[in-house]
Amino acid sequence: MAPGPGSSDEKNETCGSESTVNVHNPHLDGMKDDILYHFNLGTSTHNLPAMFGDVKFVCVGGSPWRMKSFIEYIAGELSLEDPKAEYPNICAGTDRYAMYKIGPVLSVSHGMGIPSIAIMLHELIKLLYHARCTDVTIVRIGTSGGLGRPREFI
């Protein structure tokens, strides 16, 4: 993910056209093991660069079912695999979130509400960092709350 406007990050500037995922935590690299508890993943139990290093697009949405349906759709659209194939939930060891991957696309559910999405994004950014992903785009897909407009405008 590219640095924000006005920021000057030497690490990103020296990588040429690639932009690495940055985590502004000076203690992260010194940790023996980083456990991404809600994803049921860890740096010592999983080879995160091998599993996720090719991720370029992350699509997040509220419902686990919708995110599985989305990855099946993407599989067909990108002709990467059979859309009707079985796509296992990478976070199967936990009931908090669901995660599916096809090629460079990662699909993650975040549940409902700001606390749930905040926890998911925190662990997602660390996951992308540990996997050494570059040039990642994160998009939220799904519905949102009402805007207070009368129904005839919707």
pLDDT tens sequence across 28-40: 888 889 999 999 9
> What's the pLDDT score for residue 72?
93
**CATH (residue range 36-140):** 3.40.50.1580
17 vs 29, higher pLDDT: 29
> What's the pLDDT score for residue 10?
43
Q: What is the pLDDT of residues 74-127, one digit of tens each?
A: 999 998 878 788 899 999 888 889 999 999 999 999 988 899 999 999 999 999
> What's the pLDDT score for residue 20?
82
Give the type of residue at 79.
S
Joined together, the tokens standing for residue 142 give 């799904």
HEC string of the chain equals CCCCCCCCCHHHHCCCCCCECCCCCCCCCCCCCCEEHHHCEECCCCCHHHHHCCCCEEEEECCHHHHHHHHHHHHHHCCCCCCCCCCCCCCCCCCCCCEEEECCEEEEECCCCHHHHHHHHHHHHHHHHHCCCECCEEEECCCCCCCCCCHHHC
